[in-house]
Copies of this chain bind each other. A is one copy, B any other.
Amino acid sequence: MEISHELAIGIDIGGTNTKWGLVNHRGDIIRKGDLKTEGYPTFEAYIDALYNTLTPVMEEVEDGKTVKGIGIGAPNGNYYKGTIEYAPNLQWKGVLDVTDLVSEKFGLPASLTNDANAAAIGEMMYGAARGMKDFIMITLGTGVGSGIVANGHLILGHDGFAGELGHTIIRPGGRKHWATKLDGSVEAYCSATGIVITAKELLATSTQESLLRNYALDELDSKKVFDCAIQGDAIAAETYRFTGQILGEALANFVMFSSPEAIILFGGVIKAGNLLLNPTREHMEKNLLPIFQNKVKLIFSELREADAAILGASALVWEQRD
């Protein structure tokens, strides 16, 4: 079978919704859709619903094309074991044998990794990291995720859980993370959640006028901070400068670890553009040894946010052995 005739199914399991897509080798999404993740009595029932959704899609694949396999991105996904383990955002607790269940139900090989690793693979295959063998993908959304590629391969670690850069400590004794209870982690500052906390802290410790004061504190979200920042609001701008400083310091540490060709930023928070990128770059460079300075490309993802998770998950299929 020529590889140009092969298709892959990419599935992105989120806490609320599951997105799926049928993808070719070029990264074109031929069909896509979604279904609810919540509301099934068991994980098996959810897999059944997924199967019932995808069966007509697979049956409609045109003659001469074939579906090679299924790739899945999921929170706390473990590539080695094909399991989702203790994912705080999913209704099913404990260890879920995802790839076993899926490949038995679908009769196709299935691979799984965490969502940030899937995004990194997608970026390497279809996006800004094409042709790169060493890069780090940082996803800045509700949380901060990461996928690290070294010498052309994901760093998975001895247990499959490597690449939790959002939970590294960048301010020892600093802001306590609402869920992990760790002090001063990158995610506590650089996630959308962290940005809102920073804005509230700045509002509380100053009497400066700010557009942000037009909102009740519990209405503030990262989108409003962004909107105020592009209108030139000083406290909103300082929120991004501070976020960029912390992110830049953290990125410097990551560079001295794996010396990547590029760091690729992805996720809702990067809508802030240069408001975030400029201070991030400044503080990254400032904290690097000279041998690393002015070498690392700090760039935004080239994948559409809505598609990246599906593309990344589907890309796992091309790495499956026949």
B165, A257: Cβ atoms closer than 8 Å: yes
The stretch from A27-35, A115-123, A150-158 touching chain B is A150-158
A260, B172: Cβ atoms closer than 8 Å: no
Question: Is A134 at the interface (CB under 8 A from chain B)?
Answer: yes
- The residue on B at minimum CB distance from A287 is B169
What distance in Å separates the Cβ of A201 from its nearest Cβ neighbour in chain B?
17
- The residue on B at minimum CB distance from A257 is B257
How many of these chains are in the complex? Answer: 2
Q: Kindly identify, within residues 196 to 241 of chain A, every residue whose CB is under 8 Å from any CB belonging to chain B.
A: none
DSSP class of A's interface residues: helix, strand, loop or mixed? Answer: loop
Cα–Cα distance between A94 and B153 once the two chains are bound (Å): 32
Q: How many residues from A make CB contacts under 8 Å with B? A: 45
Given that A155-B150, A291-B85 are contacting pairs, would A168 and B134 also be in contact in the complex, using a CB cutoff of 8 Å? no
Given that A86-B291, A182-B289, A291-B85 are contacting pairs, would A162 and B257 also be in contact in the complex, using a CB cutoff of 8 Å? yes
Interface string of A112-133 (1 = CB under 8 A from B): 0000000000000000000011
Which of A167, A170, A172, A256 has the most B CB atoms < 10 Å from its CB? Answer: A256
Cα–Cα distance between A159 and B292 once the two chains are bound (Å): 9
Given that A180-B289, A257-B257 are contacting pairs, would A252 and B156 also be in contact in the complex, using a CB cutoff of 8 Å? no
List residues of chain B with CB within 8 A of the CB of A5: none
